[in-house]
């Protein structure tokens, strides 16, 4: 399990709900960087998303949906390390905890453009960047010069190791999915069928 030099990608997110954009991002990272595993870590309590109008679904539901979404891929795993922690959870703490538990593993934090642009506002960015290499998904067609500039600034300001991950632009977001469900529209093909079935069974996002 802990063979030396294992390369593990970390996909952090709210995953409310998890969708094909997340899965394609994870697969792109696995393929491009030759990762041994991508670990999905649904966020715990998020002070960022406290202001969201519709409340964030329970950790239990987000964990269950994420597990269903990755069940058919042996390289994808799910960790409850953040959901199980009480209080605010911070990315730097998660990464440092993982490094303590698995000292021989190299961790790669996988981040979409919106995450990259926000990272310097997260708690203790210097500790995040010293605990992992960041894989930054850039969409050649859609992403601006501002993103490239922020990547260079993070490298300069925090000694960040950031590798670009060229990715197709997949126009799917959890926000859109929640809104479609609230309005009674189909979300089929935007997320795995098993996750849609779970959402229906639990009556999530109906508003
Ligand atoms: P919300 O709309 O609630 O913010 P989201 O769809 O952005 O949800 P998150 O859980 O916030 O999903 O995202 C987790 C990670 O996945 C982030 O790093 C984010 O940048 C990335 N991500 C989300 N959607 C996509 C997508 N369609 N393509 C590439 N990366 C994505
Ligand atoms: Mg988001």
pLDDT digits (tens, 9 = 90+) for 10-45: 999 999 999 999 999 999 999 999 999 999 999 987
Q: What are phi and psi of 133, to 5 degrees?
A: -95, 140
Pocket lining: 15 vs ligand 1, CB cutoff 6 Å: yes
- Lowest mean pLDDT across 2-11, 33-42, 45-54, 137-146: 45-54
In a domain, 80, yes or no: yes
Quick check: CB of 10 below 6 Å from ligand 1? no
- In angstroms, the CA 89 to CA 56 distance is 15
First to last CA, the chain: 42
Q: Which ligand has the shortest distance to the CA of 171? A: 1
What average pLDDT is seen over the chain? 93
> How far apart are alpha carbons 175 and 59 in whole angstroms?
17
Residue 186 lies inside a defined structural domain of this protein: no
pLDDT at position 143 is 65
Q: How far apart are CA 52 and CA 25, in angstroms?
A: 24
195 within a domain of the structure (yes/no): no
Select from 21, 44, 150 the residue to mutate for testing ligand 1; criterion: most ligand atoms less than 8 Å from CB. 21
Note whether residue 86 is domain-resident: yes
Counting the structural domains of the chain, the total is 1
Q: Is 118 part of a structural domain of the chain? A: yes
Q: What is the pLDDT of residues 72-91, one digit of tens each?
A: 999 999 999 999 987 788 99
In a domain, 2, yes or no: no
Q: Decide if 176 is inside a domain.
A: no
Separation of CA 160 from chain center? 19
Nearest alpha-carbon partner for 19 in 10, 11, 9: 11
Ligand 1 proximity of 169 Cβ (cutoff 6 Å) = no
List the CATH number of the domain containing 59.
3.40.50.620
Higher pLDDT, 179 or 142: 179
Task: Provide the domain limits for residue 93.
Answer: 7-171
**Does residue 51 lie within any of the structural domains?**
yes
Q: Which ligand is nearest the CA of 65, by number? A: 1
């Amino acid at each position: 399990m802990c063979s030396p030099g294992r390369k593990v990608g970390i996909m952090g997110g709210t995953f409310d709900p998890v969708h094909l954009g997340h899965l394609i991002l994870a697969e792109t990272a696995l393929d491009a960087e030759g990762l041994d595993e991508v670990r999905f870590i649904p966020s715990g309590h998020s002070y960022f998303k406290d202001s969201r109008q519709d409340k964030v679904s329970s950790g239990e539901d987000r964990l269950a949906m994420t597990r269903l979404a990755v069940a058919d891929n042996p390289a994808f795993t799910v960790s409850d390390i953040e959901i199980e922690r009480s209080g605010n959870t911070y990315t730097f703490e998660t990464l440092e905890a993982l490094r303590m538990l698995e000292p021989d593993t190299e961790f790669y934090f996988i981040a979409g453009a919106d995450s990259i642009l926000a990272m310097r506002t997260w708690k203790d960015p210097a500790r995040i960047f010293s605990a992992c290499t960041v894989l930054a998904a850039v969409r050649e067609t859609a992403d601006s010069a501002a993103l490239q500039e922020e990547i260079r600034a993070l490298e300069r300001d925090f000694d960040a190791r950031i590798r670009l991950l060229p990715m197709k632009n997949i126009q799917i977001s959890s926000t859109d999915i929640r809104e479609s469900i609230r309005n009674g529209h189909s979300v089929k093909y935007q997320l795995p069928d098993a996750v849609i079935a779970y959402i229906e069974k639990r009556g999530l996002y109906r508003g």
